[in-house]
Structure 1
Amino acid sequence: MSNLDYHVSYASHRVPVMGRNAVATSQPLAAQAGIRMLQQGGNAVDAAIASAMALTVLEPTGNGIGSDAFAIVWDGKQLHGLNASGRAPAEWNLARFAGLKTMPQTGWEAVTVPGAVSAWVALAERFASLPLTTLAQPAIDYARNGFPVSPLIARLWQAGYNKLQQQPGFTECFAPGGRPPRAGELYRNPAQAATLQKIAETRGEAFYRGELAQKIVASAQQHGAALSIADLSNHRADWVRLLSRPFAGGSVHELPPNGQGIATLIAIGILEHWDIGRYPPDSAPCLHLCFEAMKLALLDLERYVGDDDRLAFPAEHLLSDEYLQQRAALIDPDRAGDFTFGSPQQSGTVYLTTADASGMMVSFIQSNYMGFGSGVVVPGTGISLQNRGNGFSLDPQHPNVVAGGKRPFTTIIPGFALDAAGQPLMSFGVMGGTMQAQGHLQLALRVMLHKQNPQAAIDAPRWRVVQGREVMVESGIDRNVLATLREMGHLISVEDPLSGHNFGGAQAIVRDPQGFYVAGSESRKDGQALVC
């Protein structure tokens, strides 16, 4: 019998969907691409790859062929983590960016090696049952024949155009008629269709070593960028060991740095020391402790996290029981605090999730970082490039300082939870910059601790720690609770959930003990959860 609560609900017209196979993405046509693969005999990885490739066409405001990507896969027996984020060009160093206070946000000097294509290939080689050419077909069809642009994406597209129209290749690709597409208009990208076809037929070789790589590097050289053929050909996606913390009788699993998933685990560990489950999820005591735990976690994230290969100490040190108990002791249960980072002992984005009847589940995220990323599009290819280089620090003493061949700190993280028996419980993610680790914490609390069904957990009003004692919350939180939080010293600002990107976009699939899945999708966006 299910242990989820199907009676709790928040301000949304959506309901959880249930079936033996499930796909949840931020765009309905992308969700359907994944379902098509399952109906053709594919598995959850096939569905994830097809949806991810389709999203580069359907939601270019958040990702593209030049994105980075991460994944967590439950293969039916165990979890696997994949880090397909790219590294800095070999020629990058501090001297290259001398005189700047922060790394560039736009243009070629913000572009690191794109990793998403390597994620598709690595996942396909290890787990897929259908050919990559089959998985790419929905994306190719959408790019070649066009798709209608939704009102939400049209608004984001216009904002991206206003910011990036002068970047190389941007207008040619994303505003071919001299303006971005409007809501309800069909958009076609035949160049992207041809590129996706080449990637699928060569299993990524064209992108990293062949014809497409040559075009990427030629464009880089034309604009004085450092990216080289060697940088592309040397790229690899890495299978990595996951980090985890016990929680609510199960466990939460995140990829290790260079991502921010460790912040979710730090916050969870702190909250466990406060027995957070004794408070209702929308109460002032619960929210206060969550704010404080997240503040502590984000401070450690900012101070210590960069490329896992270059950290001053193993990331696990930030997750030790002794260290988390010390951090938890800093919290005053009645007052908002101002914290600094601790001292552990040295001992833009799209998210999707899929699951199939065999028991396989996938948590997958890919992103160009800030909207359309760098704004750079390689001419004639439809390849829009991320701006992950902006994630580096220019502080020579920081573990995330810019260096050639190094991965920058990245915001994008997939999440996964196991139950008390070590079996899959939930595949989940919350896209949206610094909201992601905070969103992971909120979904884990609601589903794992309070047994809310995934759609209710997604619809519930969210909060986001900003800086210091500043916290932004959605308007659905009770005004009396907000008054109490303000009395405790929190600087609360209230925002409409639909006014912007402040609260992210979630997708989640929960495995029911009876052998089927319960899926929910983001009601603040165009997302859709489908089952079959």
Structure 2
Amino acid sequence: MMNLDSNHYPYASRRSVVYAKRGMVATAQPLAAQAGLQVLQAGGNAIDAAIAAAAALSVVEPTANGIGGDAFALIWHGGKLHGLNASGAAPQRISLAALKAAGHTSMPKYGALPVTVPGTPGAWVSMAERFGKLPLAQSMAGAIALAQDGFPVSPMVAVAWDAAHRNFLNELKAGHFQPWFDTFAAAGRAPRAGEVWRSPGHAQTLQSIASDNAASFYRGALAEKIAACVQGAGGYLDVADLAAYQPQWVDPISVNYRGYDVWEIPPNGHGLVALMALNILKGFDFSERDTVLTHHRQIEAIKLAFADGHAHIAEASAMRVSVCDLLSDAYADERRRLIGPRATLPIAGEPPRGGTVYLSTADSEGNMVSLIQSNYMGFGSGLVVPGTGIALHNRGNNFTLDADHPNCLAPGKRPYHTIIPGFLTKDGAAIGPFGVMGGFMQPQGHVQMVMNTVDFALNPQAALDAPRWEWLQGNKVNLEHTAPEHLFRSLAALGHEVAWSGNQHAFGRGQIIWRDAQGVLCGGTEPRSDGSIAAW
């Protein structure tokens, strides 16, 4: 059952659970949380605060997201949950035949070919226009100031920045990658923790988005610069692709897990994987968290869910199996029967036919936002539009070049997408937003956060502090180095190929805000990052 008691706290942490009444912003970077809180205190609502924090994160955590990426959001407003899919499509001029003729057998990781239309600016505009109380320029003012005046780089961001720089020195040799180094490593290295970093080009781009509601980004001078950058690097994105872009408001999907409705964005995102795993797991009883049986069943369920996800998830119009069929109780029963006493290799079933930032916000009016935005793999494609601070993402890397697969590359098609916001409700009332960023760790993090909350009665901070596991492939599983040693030995005895990992970034970074029946907000933030909660 839900537990907001700060004394129920079995895992060591340098943070305490946070309570507030009038508003709360939880992010992985303190300056972004403060930007959101300032907007709340200026009369904005949770939607305005989410935009403020998201725009600020594009500046203060460029290692994980930016203006040139995608975004998804779940927004509780007016007693209803609304979904926003602001992911972008592949260029209209790209083709499977062209990539195969060029010798590609899989989608490239870096460069122009995996660049799809960036959706993040469109997300901010759509949220402000539909649900915001303040002008976009007011919500984004804090982010613009951070980019123009500079900010001291936080410790975990500095670590990620240095790792990205060292990787790019090895990976990005062509001349069209030089703007990345000019923008993000002008001193010949990544900025260090506490060092002030400025990005005037980023500030100008944010100012343009704020003043014309991203018109220049999608249909003006910025669009022309983006298209020229991609085409100059051998890509296909052009001004027509940008001009045609519109984020989509969608109906969220859910499963009921022990009386709580767990909500995700429908495909092309893979929140469906988390829901399939929870649907399998609800058929078991879990009395204790740190037992081998609990972990074994969680891991086996996520393996089965990912097998189905990789086989079936694509742009919704390209899927050959319906979401309803994949989430049916009958199919969950069928998949659950495959979980035995030992680790097994996952296979996809056939149901009956019928580098990322995450933030949460809440206000005193009852509005709550679960938002995630990303450039993918840290800084994305390695392409930066000169003079703009726009690091372009590489989401097209998730396409397959298998012509028979529903997620095969095609013009104007959106790829399988890893970023997913989560939301929890009960009996039609909002409990609140939650999320765990980190590529293919995200559905696994969602399952663990929901179970920590519902099955094991952990408060938000304790739910985030608890040691995590990550299934990789086959029977390979990483356990966080803080997990009990008996789990390592016992899982290995069941056939899991277990390894310890001290890489905190590998296990995702999350935020949680719950609201109780009295309207009190209770938040937790990620101990594996520079996470912060700004409360009012």
From 452, 463, 479, the counterpart of 2:485: 479
Using the alignment, how far apart are the partners of 1:19 and 1:385 within structure 2?
Answer: 37
Taking the aligned partners of 2:2 and 2:282, their CA distance within structure 1 comes to 25
TM-aligned CA deviation for residue 8 of structure 1: 2.3
Structure 1 residue corresponding to 2:523, chosen from 496, 501, 519: 519
Does structure 2 conserve the Cα–Cα contact (< 8 Å) formed by 1:107 and 1:168? no
- Give the equivalent residue in structure 2 for 1:336: 343
For residues 68-103 of structure 1, give each alpha carbon's deviation from its aligned partner in whole angstroms, at most 9, with x where no partner exists.
Answer: 000000004000000000000001111121122210
Q: Deviations over 1:24-50 (max 9, x none)?
A: 001000000000001001100000000
* 1:186 equivalenced with 2:196 (yes/no): yes
Aligned equivalents of 2:233, 2:300: Cα separation in 1:
45
Comparing 447-456 and 17-26, the one that deviates more? 447-456
CA contact (8 A) 2:3 2:458 kept: no
**CA–CA separation in structure 2 for the residues paired with 1:76 and 1:453:** 26
Look up the match of 2:430. 424
Shift of 1:388: 0.4
Conserved 8 A contact 2:3-2:453: no
Specify the SS of the correspondent of 2:439. Answer: coil
**Cα pair 1:2 1:513 within 8 Å, conserved:** no
Shift of 1:243: 1.0
2:252 aligns with 242
Q: Tell me the distance in 1 between the aligned counterparts of 2:2 and 2:163.
A: 44
- Partner amino acid for 2:281? L
Q: Gaps spanning 5+ residues in structure 2: where?
A: none
Moved more, 279-288 or 351-360: 279-288
Give the corresponding residue for 1:409: 416
- Name the counterpart of 2:38: 36
The whole-number CA distance in structure 1 between the counterparts of 2:64 and 2:275 is 26
Aligned to 1:53: 55
Give the TM-score, by structure 1 length: 0.97
2:269 maps to 1:268? no
- Paired residues of 2:479 and 2:488 also in contact (CA < 8 A): no
Question: Offset at 1:418?
Answer: 0.5
Distance in 2 (alpha carbons) for counterparts of 1:97 and 1:500? 36
Does the 8 Å CA contact 1:2/1:512 hold for their aligned counterparts?
A: no
1:216 pairs, out of 205, 226, 250, with 226
State the 1:512 CA deviation.
Answer: 1.5
Unaligned 5+ segments in structure 1 are none
Structure 1 position 449, deviation (Å): 2.4
Partner of residue 386, structure 2: 379
Q: Name the CA shift for 1:207/1:259 in 2 (closer, same or farther; >3 Å).
A: same
Distance 2:9 2:196 in 1: 39
Q: Which residue in 2 is equivalent to 1:17?
A: 18
Which residue does the alignment assign to 1:359?
366
Residue 148 in structure 1 maps to residue 152 in structure 2: yes
Quote how far apart the aligned CAs of 1:160 are: 1.5
How many residues are aligned here?
A: 526
Secondary structure, counterpart of 1:227 in structure 2: coil
How far does residue 314 in structure 1 lie from its aligned partner after superposition?
1.7
The yes-or-no answer on 1:159 pairing with 2:167 is no
- The one-letter amino acid of 1:111's match is V
2:356 to 344, 349, 355: 349
Is the 2:505–2:528 contact (alpha carbons within 8 Å) kept by the matching residues of 1?
Answer: no
Quote how far apart the aligned CAs of 1:4 are.
2.9
Distance in 2 of aligned mates of 1:354 and 1:4: 17
Could you report, residue by residue, the CA deviation over 1:164-201 in whole angstroms, capped at 9, with x for unpaired residues?
35414101111122322122211000011011001100
Give the structure 2 partner of residue 530 of structure 1: 534
- For the residues of structure 1 that align with 2:200 and 2:15, how far apart are their CA atoms? 35
Query: Could you tell which deviates more after superposition, 161-170 or 193-202?
Result: 161-170
Q: TM-score, normalised by structure 2?
A: 0.96
* C-alpha deviation, 1:5, in angstroms: 4.1
Letter in 1 for 2:526: E
Inter-partner Cα distance in structure 2 for 1:323 and 1:224: 45
1:206 maps to 216
Q: Which moved more, 1:209-218 or 1:384-393?
A: 209-218
How much identity, in percent, do the aligned residues show?
Answer: 49
Aligned position for 1:4 = 4
Deviations 1:145-165 (CA, angstroms, capped at 9, x unpaired): 001112221221122222335
Q: Which moved more, 1:463-472 or 1:35-44?
A: 463-472
**Alignment correspondent of 2:494:** 488
Q: Residue 292 of structure 1: which of 292, 296, 300 is its match?
A: 300
Is 1:227–2:227 an aligned residue pair?
Answer: no
| Aligned 8 A contact 2:2 2:457 in 1 | no
Structure 1 residues 281 and 2: alpha-carbon distance in aligned structure 2, compared to 1, 3 A threshold: closer
Partner Cα separation in structure 1 for residue 106 and residue 534 of structure 2: 42
Where does residue 329 of structure 2 map in the other structure?
Answer: 321
**Structure 1 counterpart of 2:266:** 256
Question: Which AA in structure 2 matches 1:477?
Answer: A
| Partners of 1:357 and 1:516 within 8 A in 2 | no
SS at match of 2:25: strand
Query: 2:451 aligned to 419, 427, 445, which one?
Result: 445
2:64 equivalent among 31, 52, 62: 62
Counterpart-to-counterpart distance in 2, 1:12 and 1:157: 25
SS at match of 1:83: strand
**1:458 pairs with 2:482:** no
Residue 390 of structure 1: aligned partner:
397
CA offset at residue 500 of structure 1? 4.2
Aligned to 2:319: 311
TM-align CA RMSD = 1.3
Q: Mean Cα displacement is larger for which, 339-348 or 4-13? A: 4-13
